[in-house]
């Protein structure tokens, strides 16, 4: 169905708050199996665009397409079920739940989330939980959070919370993953480690990533395509080198406007 078509696309989406236009007629296409970087100064509208793509905000105009299907009227959880998962810029760890439970929550199609299986098919439920537990263990070890698995997420440090947010999103087996500043506060070695992992997932499992990141070097080194935003509009979309040299983009960053 989406062979040849972009896996995620927005068509001319616009969204305002009061008098302020946060996203203005934005049309982007994200290709499957690519890592796309999204850059722009603060206030450019990147988080708003994420919210529009994932369904946490409704556009005033325009449409969002996921795997070719128009999902503009679908709820966030409906889009997530179809493979679109996002993280949050300010981490939303579930403080009163353990790290492990945070991870297990993300498992999809869990029979134990429905009441009937909990009463009649306990064996199946347990099998599924065990299998997910193994997946979570692997991910947590990779993220160096395994020792904290029984700790309440609210007690983690900032960087650890970012890692948990990433781990949770990977647990959900996404086709398209929107990462909002995933490495903020994470130490550089681990960051490299994780970026390698992201590239692996792209190469071996054909997963798609859209990453907001402020560190230009990181973005340029990892991205196949880069999108530059400013004042709610797309300034440029293309290969990293092109974007890096784009004059408007440079002005946006240096221009120091509000």
Partner 1 sequence: MAVSFSLVMVTLIIVGIYAILAIGMNMHWGDTGLLNFAHAGFFAVGAYTSAILTTEVTETGLLASRTVGFDFPIVAGMIAAPIMAGLFGLLLGVTSIRLEGDYLAIVTLAGAETARLIISNEAWLTSGEQTLKNIPRPLDGSLPGFLPYDVFYFGLVLLVLLGSYFLFRHLANAPFGRVLHAIREDEDVPKALGKDTGRFKLKSFALGAAIAGLGGSLWAHYVYAIQPTMFLPNLTFSIWAMVIIGGAGSYIGAIAGAVIVTGIRQITRFLPGDIPLGNELPYLRLIVIGVLLIAVLYYRPYGMFGDKERSLAGMSGGGE
Binding site for partner 1 (CB under 8 A): 54, 56, 75-78, 80-81, 85-88, 92-97, 101, 104-108, 110, 112-115, 118, 125, 129, 152-161, 168-169, 172
Query: CB of 230: closest distance to partner 1 in angstroms?
Result: 26
Query: CB of 146: closest distance to partner 1 in angstroms?
Result: 19
Reference 215, options 255, 185, 256; nearest CA is 185
Reference 227, options 208, 217, 214, 240; nearest CA is 240
Which one, 122 or 250, has the nearer CB to partner 1? 122
Which one, 39 or 104, has the nearer CB to partner 1? 104
Q: Where are the beta strands (DSSP E) in 115-206?
A: 176-180
Measured between alpha carbons, how far is 10 from 21 in angstroms, rounded to an integer? Answer: 17
Which one, 123 or 256, has the nearer CB to partner 1? 123
Give, in order, the Cα–Cα distances in Å from 97 to each of 29, 112, 129, 131, 164.
36, 18, 17, 20, 12
Query: CB of 152: closest distance to partner 1 in angstroms?
Result: 3
Decide: helix, strand or coil at residue 246.
coil
Q: Which residues of 26-48 are buried (b: 16+ CB within 10 A; e: fewer)?
A: bebbbbbebbbbbbbbebbbbbb
Which one, 70 or 78, has the nearer CB to partner 1? 78
> Which pairs from 238-245 meet CB under 8 Å and 24+ separation?
240/37, 243/39, 244/216, 244/220
Which one, 154 or 255, has the nearer CB to partner 1? 154
Query: CB of 102: closest distance to partner 1 in angstroms?
Result: 8
Which one, 15 or 230, has the nearer CB to partner 1? 15
Record the tokens describing residue 85, joined without a space.
């998962």
Record the tokens describing residue 179, joined without a space.
């990462």
Query: CB of 182: closest distance to partner 1 in angstroms?
Result: 14
Query: CB of 97: closest distance to partner 1 in angstroms?
Result: 6
Query: CB of 207: closest distance to partner 1 in angstroms?
Result: 16
Which one, 62 or 76, has the nearer CB to partner 1? 76
Distant-in-sequence, close-in-space partners of 82: CB < 8 Å, separation ≥ 6? 66, 67, 69, 71, 74, 175
Measured between alpha carbons, how far is 14 from 25 in angstroms, rounded to an integer? Answer: 5
């Amino acid at each position: 169905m989406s062979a040849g078509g972009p896996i995620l696309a927005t068509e001319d989406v616009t969204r305002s708050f009061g008098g302020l236009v946060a996203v203005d007629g934005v049309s982007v296409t994200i290709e499957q199996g690519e890592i796309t970087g999204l850059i722009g100064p603060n206030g450019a509208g990147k988080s708003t665009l994420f919210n529009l793509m994932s369904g946490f905000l409704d556009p005033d105009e325009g449409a969002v397409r996921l795997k070719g299907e128009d999902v503009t009227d679908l709820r966030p959880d409906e889009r997530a079920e179809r493979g679109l998962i996002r993280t949050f810029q300010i981490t939303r760890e579930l403080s009163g739940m353990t790290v492990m439970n945070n991870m297990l929550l993300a498992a999809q199609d869990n029979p134990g989330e429905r009441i009937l299986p909990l009463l009649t098919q306990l064996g199946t439920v347990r099998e599924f939980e065990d299998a997910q537990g193994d997946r979570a263990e692997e991910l947590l070890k990779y993220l160096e959070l395994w020792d904290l698995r029984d700790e309440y997420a609210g007690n983690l440090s900032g960087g650890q919370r970012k890692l948990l947010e990433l781990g949770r999103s990977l647990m959900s087996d996404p086709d398209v993953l929107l990462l909002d500043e995933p490495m903020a506060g994470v130490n550089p070695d681990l960051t490299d480690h994780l970026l390698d992992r992201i590239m692996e997932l792209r190469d071996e499992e054909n997963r798609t990533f859209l990453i907001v990141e402020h560190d230009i070097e990181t973005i340029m080194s990892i991205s196949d395509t880069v999108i530059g935003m400013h004042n709610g509009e797309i300034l440029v979309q293309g290969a990293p080198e092109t974007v890096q040299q784009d004059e408007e983009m440079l002005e946006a960053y240096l221009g120091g406007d509000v």
